[in-house]
Amino acid sequence: MTTLTEERTVDAVPVRPLSPARSRLREWARWASVAWFLVPALVLFLVFVLAPIVVAVYTGFFKWGGIGPMDDFVGFANYTRLFADQVFLGDLGRGLYLIVLSITVQLPFALFTAVLLNQRLRGRAVYRMLFFAPYILSEVVTAVLFTMIFLPDDGMADHLAGALGLEGLQGTWLADPSTALPTVFVVMTWKYFGFHMMLFLAGLQGIPAELLEAASLDGAGAWRRFRYVTLPLLGPTIRISVFLSIIGSIQLFDLVWVMTAGGPNHSSETMAISMFQFGFKRYQVGYAGAISVVLFMISLIFSLFYQRYVLRRDLSGAVTSGGDR
């Protein structure tokens, strides 16, 4: 028996190189397509982000009331005044107070709720919706709602305090300097913890169930599974949540403004409220510009530091916690 082997040859189709003119035309078309998508975004970024920053920096070097030409150049006098102002230094302290409470109270509460709602509970979808619903409300609506709740004598909070035997708190929620800021923080927690809860839920559902089952088979209890398996794998989500919480606390404005306007006696005032007060109430726009620059620099420096030293492994693709080895 003879075997015939057929050799099949495929003729190569010659590829004609593009002419220089046609190559340049194609390159120009590619760059035009890129510009078509990028230019509108860049224009918006320049007009609504970079331009206001430049104007604020420039304004901070003048004593200006917002009307007429800026001809009273004072150099760094606004900044010197800023860091000698006890109210502004108090704003920094109050911002730090909100940050500490957010990290130590609000986020752990959101994490606990997320872990609870990640279990097989009847009606857990309803609970998730109810806990996330406050985040959908605008800050102004939330502030007006809780202003009515904390009304002296007629508010729900006073009635609840009376029922619990806490008559000393009645009428003081937003009117007493010692309770105004903690009350604002309670409203902040009600408003934002659902957002962080959903972040944690997303992180928890991304953890492979096989790892938890393996840890359970090895004899690890619920706490040890959470401590040594769930928490490290949830590290990137926790770090992002901490970052968003701190930035939000630094820039907090509308919720506090509607509830207390920074009062009483500056006890709930933030840097953003000080900037608004001086810029639009007292017509000291140059000083308000200096406040806005300091607020921007605090946010920028913190963001760069946090990304460089905390989010470094997450941004490079790692999912475990801890420093680089």
> pLDDT per residue over 284-321, tens digit each?
999 999 999 999 999 999 999 999 888 887 776 554 44
Which residue type does 109 have? F
Query: Which tokens hold the place of 7?
Result: 């050799």
**CA gap 303, 14 in Å, rounded:** 55
* Residues in the chain, total: 325
3-state secondary structure of 62: strand
Query: Does the pLDDT value for residue 4 go beyond 60?
Result: no
Predicted local confidence at residue 2, as pLDDT: 46
Separation in Å, CA 277 to CA 287, 292, 298: 10, 12, 20
Predicted local confidence at residue 25, as pLDDT: 78
User: What residues make up the domain containing 268?
Assistant: 77-315
Bridge partners for 73 per DSSP: 62
DSSP 243-295: HHHHHHHHT--HHHHHHTTT-STTTT--HHHHHHIIIIIS--HHHHHHHHHHH
Residue 261 in any domain: the answer is yes
Residue 37 in any domain: the answer is no
Query: Of 110, 259, 102, which is closest to residue 184 (Cα–Cα)?
Result: 259
Residue 50 in any domain: the answer is no
Predicted local confidence at residue 212, as pLDDT: 87
- Give pTM, 2 decimals: 0.83
Residue 150 in any domain: the answer is yes
Number of domains in the chain: 1
Predicted local confidence at residue 317, as pLDDT: 59
CATH of the domain at 250: 1.10.3720.10
Mean pLDDT of 68-90: 92
Q: Which residues contact 277 (CB under 8 A, 6 or more apart)?
A: 262, 269
Query: Does the pLDDT value for residue 158 go beyond 50?
Result: yes
Q: What is the mean pLDDT of the chain?
A: 87
Query: Of 258, 260, 242, which is closest to residue 94 (Cα–Cα)?
Result: 260
Residue 55 in any domain: the answer is no
Residue 3 in any domain: the answer is no
pLDDT tens for residues 226-263?
999 999 999 999 999 999 999 999 999 999 999 999 98
pLDDT tens for residues 207-227?
998 988 898 888 888 899 999
Residue 58 in any domain: the answer is no
DSSP 72: -
Predicted local confidence at residue 7, as pLDDT: 46
Predicted local confidence at residue 30, as pLDDT: 83
**CA gap 140, 143 in Å, rounded:** 5
pLDDT tens for residues 17-45?
657 777 777 888 888 888 888 888 899 99
Predicted local confidence at residue 8, as pLDDT: 47
Please check whether residue 88 is in contact with residue 271, taking contact to mean a CB–CB distance below 8 angstroms.
yes
Residue 13 in any domain: the answer is no
